[in-house]
């Protein structure tokens, strides 16, 4: 495997910590990890570290102390600086590790003027990455489903990777961003991958060891049909005693091999995966079956709510995919065991560049809920385009134009990882920022996404001239909105090439069974999801959102075509007509992509040549692709509507 890029943990970022005298008190494997980190920093930058009892003769600039905070349950820590000494105190080793990475982010400020004592703790207990890695190379989806960063860090061509050093380096990066759980394999569990649960458990145990060193627990995606495909039983019916006993036995064996195992992730009755519907049972029956097997060991089941009819007749206007999660799961609220976590995609469809918040999130007050985001850029440029997603996630979390997700994600945040065996980890070097930002927002959803970007720039390019920091900032900060401008307009979504989901294909999904339509005709465009005349989806929202989305006057422009079918001449709240807005945003978006590439030229000589070239090559593709999007979208809507561009720009 090629040597990997240091990402947000280059040696230089450790200068402040590594050039001081540190005392570490406490014991345990994670405290050893803290000590190893500080030792490495000191070896590089000339400081010193004492691990254990303080020496009478020495005075310390930094004290990292375990066991001195009252709140023993959290991964929190307390930081202060007084009289020339910085202190980090934590009740748990996990807290101490997070405290160390907090100091890293502070840099020299951790050793400057006094810092009043401040406690930090994560907003959510589980901050998890889901890998969609396959053990075997899947004939269509490859080694990593929707992976745009090379191969898997864990498997290659059906075999485990022997060298776990890269996994260890990955775990370290994740811990430094605040992540504490990883699901190792794809939620589409194929034949070989199913066996990770039983006869390939040693591979899980090996990976768990590498992650454990940084306080990260591993989870496994399992197939609901495991009792049949692995256990040889005639059924996987959740009410069958043999099935229940099989899961209990199998789960006990998992915990014998991996004592701190996190639990299972399940995609059931979804896109061809097996599930409880086969046996006439509902999803609470299915989830509770696994929850009962995990409960004696303290594990959880992440049960995905991504259940919809993917064999819909496009002629049928009464079925609305957006309604599916709510229709299936809202009636089950209160029926799940305490250790079931319902894992809900943030939007009602599928990780588009713009979607409203999934209403099922607002309908589960008695259920533990995790919200799923997608760091891998399946629909947002596949790590060929710069698209810094944290501003979108932050809007969702804070509740800009919809219910605030942060308060609804009671059991944590989960995201599909964008990392692979690519030397830059993420294919596009600048896509590292999405991985970093996900961890930071999961820790504290109130953080400013642009401040996180600057933090990432500061860590990844320590000591860089201000000019470089500015270039990166200018390219990335608004890149999600730029991407949105040149792709599908006003929240309508899914105008991508079917299957691969890259590049424009306006009617690609229009007559397919997938339930993702835009209904453009010569009069107008958009999906009528109102109660008055459409699918009634707006009625799944609580007040005020059911009113806001139902109303043409109140619906946010960005979501207009998600909720309404409107004529091209409809005037938006921003004063433009729909058709003119389509033209204007597409010309602007493609222009902004070209401007990004121009800006990047200023970074020549300021970053490593390999990184410069990789970004430049991807920006070339982004500029090409954005122009293609612009021209296909504008031409399509010009031909449908016959309305010319008021500014008479070139449309084909």
Q: Least CB distance from residue 54 to ligand GCV, whole Å? A: 51
Residue 91 vs residues 269, 321, 648: alpha-carbon distances, Å: 42, 46, 66
**Widest pairwise Cα distance in the chain:** 84
Single out the catalytic residue among 350, 372, 550, 584: 350
CB atoms within 10 A of CB 6: 16
Q: Least CB distance from residue 414 to ligand GCV, whole Å? A: 11
Q: Rounded to an integer, what distance in angstroms lies between the CA atom of residue 75 and that of residue 30? A: 12
Q: Least CB distance from residue 142 to ligand GCV, whole Å? A: 11
For ligand GCV, which is the closer residue by CB, 201 or 344? 344
For ligand GCV, which is the closer residue by CB, 85 or 138? 138
For ligand GCV, which is the closer residue by CB, 287 or 578? 287
Q: Least CB distance from residue 294 to ligand GCV, whole Å? A: 21
Task: Give the CA angle between residues 389, 357, 131 to the nearest 5°.
Answer: 50
Q: Least CB distance from residue 499 to ligand GCV, whole Å? A: 9
For ligand GCV, which is the closer residue by CB, 92 or 152? 152
The SS3 of residue 79 is strand
* 464: β partners: none
| Exposed/middle/buried for residue 536 (C-beta within 10 Å: 0-12, 13-18, 19+) | middle
For ligand GCV, which is the closer residue by CB, 65 or 186? 186
First to last CA, the chain: 46
For ligand GCV, which is the closer residue by CB, 145 or 550? 145
DSSP state of 497: P
Q: Rounded to an integer, what distance in angstroms lies between the CA atom of residue 47 and that of residue 119? A: 26
Single out the catalytic residue among 378, 422, 455, 550: 378
Q: Rounded to an integer, what distance in angstroms lies between the CA atom of residue 340 and that of residue 287? A: 7
Helix %, strand %, coil % for the chain, to 5? 40, 15, 45
Residues that bind ligand GCV (CB under 6 A): 132, 145-146, 186-188, 267, 306, 350, 378
Q: Least CB distance from residue 177 to ligand GCV, whole Å? A: 22
Q: Rounded to an integer, what distance in angstroms lies between the CA atom of residue 474 and that of residue 615? A: 15
For ligand GCV, which is the closer residue by CB, 42 or 325? 325
- Do residues 357 and 403 make contact, with C-beta atoms less than 8 angstroms apart? yes
Q: Least CB distance from residue 375 to ligand GCV, whole Å? A: 13
Single out the catalytic residue among 271, 338, 448, 523: 271
Q: Does the active-site annotation cover 271? A: yes
Instruction: Select from 436, 434, 353, 431 the least CA-distant residue to 386.
Output: 431
Q: Tell me the angle at which helices 479-486 and 578-601 cross, rounded to the nearest 10 degrees.
A: 130
CB atoms within 10 A of CB 594: 15
Catalytic residues: 271, 350, 378
């Amino acid at each position: 495997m090629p040597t990997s890029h240091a990402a947000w943990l280059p040696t230089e970022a450790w200068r402040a910590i590594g050039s001081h005298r540190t005392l570490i008190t406490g014991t345990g494997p994670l405290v050893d990890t803290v000590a190893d980190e500080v030792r490495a920093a000191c070896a590089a930058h000339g400081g010193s570290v004492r691990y254990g009892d303080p020496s009478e003769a020495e005075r310390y600039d930094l004290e990292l102390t375990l066991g001195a905070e009252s709140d023993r349950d959290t991964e929190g820590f307390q930081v202060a600086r007084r009289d020339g000494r910085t202190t980090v105190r934590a009740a748990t080793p996990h807290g101490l590790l997070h405290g160390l990475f907090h100091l890293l982010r502070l840099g020299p400020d951790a050793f400057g003027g006094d810092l009043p004592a401040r406690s930090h703790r994560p907003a959510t207990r589980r901050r998890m990455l889901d890998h969609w890695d396959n053990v075997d190379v899947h004939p269509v989806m490859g080694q990593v489903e929707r992976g745009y960063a090379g191969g898997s860090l864990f498997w290659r061509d059906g075999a485990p990777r022997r060298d776990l050093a890269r996994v260890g380096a990955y775990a370290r990066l994740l811990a430094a961003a605040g992540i504490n759980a990883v699901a190792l394999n794809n939620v589409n569990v194929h034949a070989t991958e199913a066996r990770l649960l039983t006869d390939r458990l040693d591979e899980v145990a090996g990976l768990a060891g590498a992650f454990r060193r940084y306080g990260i627990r591993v989870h496994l995606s399992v197939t609901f049909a495991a009792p049949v495909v692995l256990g040889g039983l005639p059924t996987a019916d959740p009410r069958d005693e043999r099935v229940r006993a099989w899961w209990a036995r199998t789960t006990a064996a998992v915990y014998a091999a991996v004592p701190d195992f996190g639990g299972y992730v399940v995609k059931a009755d979804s896109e061809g995966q097996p599930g409880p519907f086969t046996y006439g049972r509902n999803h609470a029956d299915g989830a509770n079956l696994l929850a009962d097997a995990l409960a004696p060991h303290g594990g959880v089941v992440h049960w995905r709510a991504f259940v919809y009819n993917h064999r819909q007749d496009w002629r049928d206007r009464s079925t609305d995919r957006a309604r599916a999660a709510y229709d299936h799961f809202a009636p089950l609220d209160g029926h799940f065991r305490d250790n079931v976590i319902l894992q809900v995609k943030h939007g009602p469809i599928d990780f588009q560049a713009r979607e409203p918040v999934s209403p099922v999130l607002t309908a589960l007050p008695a259920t533990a809920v995790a919200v799923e985001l997608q760091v891998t850029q399946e629909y947002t440029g596949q790590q060929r385009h710069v698209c810094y997603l944290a501003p979108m996630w932050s809007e969702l979390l804070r509740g800009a134009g919809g219910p605030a997700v942060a308060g609804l994600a009671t059991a944590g945040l989960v995201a599909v990882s964008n990392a692979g065996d690519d030397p830059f980890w993420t294919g596009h070097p600048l896509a590292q920022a999405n991985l970093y930002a996900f961890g930071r927002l999961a820790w504290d959803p109130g953080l400013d996404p642009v401040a996180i970007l600057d933090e990432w720039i500061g860590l990844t390019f320590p000591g860089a001239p201000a000019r470089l920091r500015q270039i990166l900032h200018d390219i990335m900060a608004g890149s999600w909105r730029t991407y949105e401008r040149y792709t599908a307009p006003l929240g309508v979504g899914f105008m991508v090439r079917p299957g691969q989901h890259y590049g424009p294909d306006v009617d690609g999904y229009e007559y397919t069974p997938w339930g993702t339509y835009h209904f453009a005709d010569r009069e107008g465009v958009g999906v009528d999801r109102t109660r008055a005349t459409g699918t009634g989806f707006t009625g799944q929202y609580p007040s005020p959102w059911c009113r806001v989305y139902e109303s043409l006057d109140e619906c946010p422009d960005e979501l207009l075509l998600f909720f309404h079918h409107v004529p091209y001449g409809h005037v938006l709240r921003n004063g433009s007509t729909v058709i003119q807005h389509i033209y204007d945003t597409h010309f602007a978006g493609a222009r902004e992509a070209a401007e990004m590439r121009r800006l990047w030229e200023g970074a020549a000589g300021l970053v490593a040549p390999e990184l410069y070239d990789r970004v430049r090559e991807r920006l070339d593709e982004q500029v090409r692709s954005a122009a293609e999007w612009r021209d296909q979208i504008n031409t399509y809507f010009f031909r449908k509507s016959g309305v010319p561009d008021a500014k008479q720009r070139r449309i084909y």
